[in-house]
Amino acid sequence: MTYPSVYLHKGKEESIARFHPWVFSGAIARKDDGIDEGDCVSVYSYDGRLLGNGHYQVGSIAVRLLTFDDTALDAAFFTSRLTEAWRLREAAGLVRDDNTAFRLVHGEGDFLPGLVVDVYGSTAVVQAHSPGMHFAREIVAEALVALNGAGIENVFYKSETTLPFKAHLDPVNRYLVGGFTTDVAVENGLQFHVDWLKGQKTGFFVDQRDNRALVEKYARGRNVLNMFCYTGGFSVYAMRGGAEQVHSVDSSTKAVRLTRQNVELNFGETERHQAFDEDAFKFLDTIEPEAYDLIILDPPAFAKHKKALRNALVGYRRLNAKAFEKIAKGGILFTFSCSQAVNREQFRLAVFSAAAQARRRVRILHQLTQPVDHPINIYHPEGEYLKGLVLYVE
């Protein structure tokens, strides 16, 4: 099936021949009249060869390609892509009674650019990042509920902050199917309240699952500081790992409350955990040296786009330097960057500079990345965003 046409300049078909799913606005030579935000379009090379079908949008990325042939972008298409995505999560061992939280669709990584779906038990939270996916939301919701064996009963649509506001789509966050049942999801046997109604992103950061499990392994007997704790994921794993003390810090009062709730949900009232509603930089300034021998730094993306790169690198260096100055001898630092604009080398260099500034002996124990439910499409390396280092500090 073909849609209204978009023709590219000569040579601009090359990246698409290598299955890169984006068409930049500058690559377009001409297009049919009347093509609007979110429309399905067919993309052609300068000499009229069909390259694929995708969603059109006004902006620098003008088309997000969903197919590299003439497959129709209909209900059958979405069912097929979602089924593949589900199979991958099953194959990776993520679908279990003791693990009900995972990302089912990770945009380009699941060949569905513009779409994110996180699953929390019987609820799927859908986020559209493109007008095309906004218009497809009902089809996506129906396909999710119909997914064989998935047990998805509720679909919450949450795109108020992810769609380009200039598109004037005025999305409303709401249930497309079902309604509220429970907000408790299970990750590796640990329970978490997930606030998809009011929380950040889809309510929980499933991308740190494997890295949290690694914190659990190192936590025994340690005094743990979990900076930028959000819902307390790392804290809860550190507690299960036998940490002596866990302190969680976040500048958001809501996040601190959620962290306390999640610790209580798993361990009841406990004096092993305390949460502080404070700025991370200020908190690090005030603590006694040597107070902590396991520190986790998982800040929000310091660079949301390329232009902010320089400042972001300064931010990572400052933050990590503060941690290196304070961490106890024999301490372990888990440090992350989720800025897509900062690459692995740049992040490592920022952390290296911080270590040198604090004059500590530092060794890299692990180099961390995003988990299998955030797969990187090999033709779309931009999909790699999460970087982490586990460091032994003497």
Q: Which of 67, 130, 202, 231 binds ligand SAH (CB under 6 A)?
A: 231
Task: Please report whether residue 228 would count as binding ligand SAH according to CB under 6 A.
Answer: yes
DSSP 9: P
- Examine the residue annotation and report whether 40 is marked as an active-site residue of this protein: no
Residue with tokens 């490592």: 348
Which region, judged by CB under 6 A, interacts with ligand SAH, from 41-49, 191-199, 298-306, 327-335?
Answer: 298-306
Task: Please report whether residue 66 would count as binding ligand SAH according to CB under 6 A.
Answer: no
> 201: which residues sit within 8 A by CB, 6+ positions away?
127
Which region, judged by CB under 6 A, interacts with ligand SAH, from 108-116, 120-128, 230-238, 320-328?
Answer: 230-238
Task: Please report whether residue 255 would count as binding ligand SAH according to CB under 6 A.
Answer: yes
Closest contact distance (angstroms) between CB of 155 and ligand SAH is: 23
Q: Label each residue of 208-275 as H, E or C.
A: HHHHHHHHHHHCCCCEEEEECCCCCHHHHHHHHCCCCEEEEEECCHHHHHHHHHHHHHHHCCCCCEEE
- How many whole angstroms from its chain centre is CA 371? 10
Task: Please report whether residue 162 would count as binding ligand SAH according to CB under 6 A.
Answer: no
> Residue 237 and residue 239: Cα distance in Å, rounded?
5
DSSP 291: S
Task: Please report whether residue 191 would count as binding ligand SAH according to CB under 6 A.
Answer: no
Interaction mask 265-294, ligand SAH, x per CB under 6 A: --------------xx--------------
Q: How far is CA 244 from CA 153, 219, 222, 308, 365, in A?
A: 40, 8, 5, 39, 22
130 versus 337: smaller Cβ distance to ligand SAH: 337
**Stretch (H or E) spanning 353:** helix 344-357
* The amino acid at 52: G
Task: Please report whether residue 298 would count as binding ligand SAH according to CB under 6 A.
Answer: yes
Task: Please report whether residue 234 would count as binding ligand SAH according to CB under 6 A.
Answer: yes
Exactly one of 35, 40, 65, 338 is catalytic; name it: 338
45 versus 208: smaller Cβ distance to ligand SAH: 208
Task: Please report whether residue 205 would count as binding ligand SAH according to CB under 6 A.
Answer: yes
Q: Buried b / exposed e across 152-162, counting CB within 10 Å, b at 16+? A: bebbbbbbeeb
Closest contact distance (angstroms) between CB of 229 and ligand SAH is: 6
| CB-based contact 374:92 (threshold 8 Å) | no
Task: Please report whether residue 233 would count as binding ligand SAH according to CB under 6 A.
Answer: yes
Q: Please list the active-site residues.
A: 338
Provide the binding-site residues for ligand SAH, judged by CB under 6 A.
Answer: 205, 208, 228-231, 233-234, 249-252, 255, 279-280, 298-300
